[in-house]
Structure 1
């Protein structure tokens, strides 16, 4: 392994997390990794909106995928390459989820998903049934070489303004991810619920939640999404 390989590995594993979450969060996670096999806590916020956004996207190539066949045909006919985990996109499409991808110079450089129904997983092992009238935003990823170009923001705008406008849009965000939370605020989302998740031996999980000031509507967010 060369010094360049080591630097790329550091940028991918550590540098990106420091930039997104902050050095204190990374140091805290590095410490707790030693004991997380026994005990760990994680904090999340649920943000939501039921409106579209007036923000606009520039002229970039974003494609909506609704089936695995469509994705495979796209790869073949356009001779696309990718700097992402292709299996993640395929797994979402196999579950009948919607995926938006960004293509630049025949490179798939970013993606983001929407889950309309079924079981949604967050944290270590919490599975929740998506209530009627809600959709989940999930799995936003931008390739390292394309970060800092607002591709994540543009994918969020496209997802918000997609045709499922009758459903309330939900996103789970780690509480330490202040940058992402601020970006969702700018797009009209509000923080509804704060969740503190405690897990023992990677098996036994409890979720403690509290409402924010904006939780007086949304029916208490369908009673915290049917008690998770």
Structure 2
């Protein structure tokens, strides 16, 4: 059954530390004009810790590939892109700043562009203060330390966990997750219609049984364990 985007809304979970979140936001012009997007700044590090996953930058070869891939995608898409001086950086204050300034997509995009288009440092106290000045909100240095702002970021992160979000950026639409910049077109198609999501093959692959599962006690030896002998996967 097809469904119109009119009157529909989706949540967009992101972290400023992700270059792919920046690249996806720069493609929001692809989204239906009738779709409402509710941005949700969240702490990606907390998400990864919850699901027991290392960040790409914590794996040397993956770190290099990730940076190359982000640059390639930016160049392929024609999006201005300059990495900040060092990565990963602590994004907590930038996430709080977006909340303190009202959390609009316009504010969020300006922060993203300061970091990922202009390649500016936001990790040092001086760098963050410069961001606040550039945003026309010098009081942001103090605003990000208020309890209300901290609580809002915590609520967003808790909501992401409750929705099973496992990475950034992620759209959540009608309970369905669309993770990654390269899922943008998939998300757009699914906003327009549920026909693909409701197709027999998508339903089949979404419910495949686990063939093998690594037993944590065998992790050091890197021995795959038959599913029948492995612990049941968590919900």
Interval containing the TM-score (normalised by the shorter chain): under 0.3
TM-score (norm 1): 0.24
TM-score (norm 2): 0.23
Higher normalized strand content (fraction of residues): 1
The higher radius of gyration belongs to: 2
Higher normalized helix content (fraction of residues): 2
